[in-house]
Structure 1
């Protein structure tokens, strides 16, 4: 190595004792930039992880804490009245609503998801369920931006990448 950075030099010193048993091969590409370990998420302890260790207890690996109050949820409920599909779904999922033919007014993609049982309503908030997640359904751009801010820009969020922000939004909302 011509001029190693301090991080690379530290790694060189750490693995020097194993030098006889291993061969270090340089690989070109974006994968091996000098990245800061603090900006990377640890792999979850699942069978897909090569370093998976079965555990009897499941520990909390991360908590997304936001400052969203009741005003946010009230705005979400009000925004459902503006969008046609959200309004119809809200009515269909209310306990006292008994007109199933009302679902024919939904756009095709929304009707299919409704027929598959993918929508639920809890405390007046609409949720969309997929195979492994259940996320809050929002229609108002201001509310969507609030969630993105809380999961990306706020001090507690850690200012992570776009992909990881979207992943966090899916699991936190």
Structure 2
């Protein structure tokens, strides 16, 4: 497990978790809630979503409701499986129009 340094400013590091098995909300099909907590301020954000949302759905939700206001996070801590977390980062980069080369990132990390 990688140790995450304590953030020096808001929205550098966020914790994400999903509350699922909620009853549908009104006429919408939302049956889950994405909870995002800023590790620096301990500020939570609650976003209605669907329990079957894909990594792209989550990336679009994060962009439209959070990142467009706070800026991009440096670290996302979540207990979803690794494949989802990797797909989330890949899709966030797509949504933002950025290229992300995982292998090059690993090489740079090894040089640190």
- The answer to whether TM tops 0.5 is no
Pick the structure with greater CA Rg: 1
User: Shorter-chain TM-score category?
Assistant: under 0.3
> What TM-score do the two structures reach when normalised by structure 1?
0.18
Query: Relative contact order (alpha carbons < 8 A, sep ≥ 6): 1 or 2 greater?
Result: 2
TM (normalized to structure 2)?
A: 0.24
